Amino acid sequence: MNADIADWANLYDVLMDAYGPQKWWPGRENPFAVVVGAILTQRTTWTNAAMAVDALHQADAMTPEAICRLEKMDLEQLIRPAGFYRAKAATLKVFCERAGKAGGVSQLFAMPKKALRSELLSMRGIGDETADAILVYAAAKASFVVDAYTRRVLERLGWIEGRETYAMIQALFEASLPKNVTVYGEFHALIVHHGKVHCRARPACDSCPLLTRCPFANSQEELS
């Protein structure tokens, strides 16, 4: 790892100055809707996931109880715009059943972070990234989300080599930041935004706020 704690804080500050607060999931007052969004947005765009979310709202099915009551085929049809709809319907069903057993989403989310993360990971269709997105954006627990944008940005900055596991990269963030849900949520959202606006597969380095500290950009310049 090629960055110290000050670098991580500085990265957050630079991205926040450049892009401002992202305020993801403004519907956080409805944690269940955030869970549904986190599952539906797997392997698709938010635009497609949002169409499926709208369909659930229109069918009055945006509660765990309503999703438990729906026939699986009916649920699949409602969320079809999000793609992988059979697998996602199964995951939604499992989550809603577990929430029901716990006495509701709030009771499920009252579990300690580590136990809740294990519980989420035991549900088919929920991996590290979705579990951490649910933890930070729905359950308000400080668990850093690592995704492909995070890997790409950190690798280009020279802070990771690229072979690190999810857990290793998450540990780097969590060892370097205050355990603050808002900071974790904003930092991940800022990295995603940065990965879409500047640090794309073909990066737009010229106007990037990280240009002066980016070895990747400098190496590309030397090659040109």
Task: List contacts with ligand SF4 (CB under 6 A).
Answer: 153, 156, 198-199, 203-205, 208, 210-211, 214, 216-217
Residue 1 or residue 181: which is nearer to ligand SF4 going by CB?
1
Compute the least distance from the CB of residue 203 to ligand SF4, in Å: 4
Rounded least distance, CB 189 to ligand SF4, Å:
16
Eight-state DSSP code of residue 59: T
Report the residue number, 106 or 219, with the smaller CB distance to ligand SF4. 219
Tell me the closest approach of the beta carbon of residue 1 to ligand SF4, in angstroms: 17
Q: What gap in Å lies between CA 127 and CA 52, rounded to an integer? A: 21
Smallest separation (angstroms) from ligand SF4 to the CB of 24: 21
List strand residue ranges (DSSP E) for the chain, in order: none
Nearer to ligand SF4, 115 or 201 (CB): 201
Closest contact distance (angstroms) between CB of 172 and ligand SF4 is 17
Closest CB to ligand SF4 among residues 138, 191: 191
Give the alpha-carbon dihedral of 224, 19, 189, 53, to 10 degrees. Answer: -110
Largest CA distance in the chain: 61
Looking at the Cβ atoms of 107 and 219, the one nearer to ligand SF4 is 219
Q: Which two tokens stand for residue 131?
A: 């579990």
Helix (H, G, I), strand (E, B) or coil at 131: helix
| Spatial separation of the C-alpha atoms in residues 118 and 101, rounded to whole Å | 16
Is the distance from CB of 156 to CB of 203 less than 8 angstroms?
A: yes
Nearest-approach distance from CB 221 to ligand SF4, in angstroms: 10
Cα dihedral 86→88→89→92 (10° resolution)? 160
Nearer to ligand SF4, 105 or 192 (CB): 192
Question: Is the distance from CB of 42 to CB of 88 less than 8 angstroms?
Answer: yes
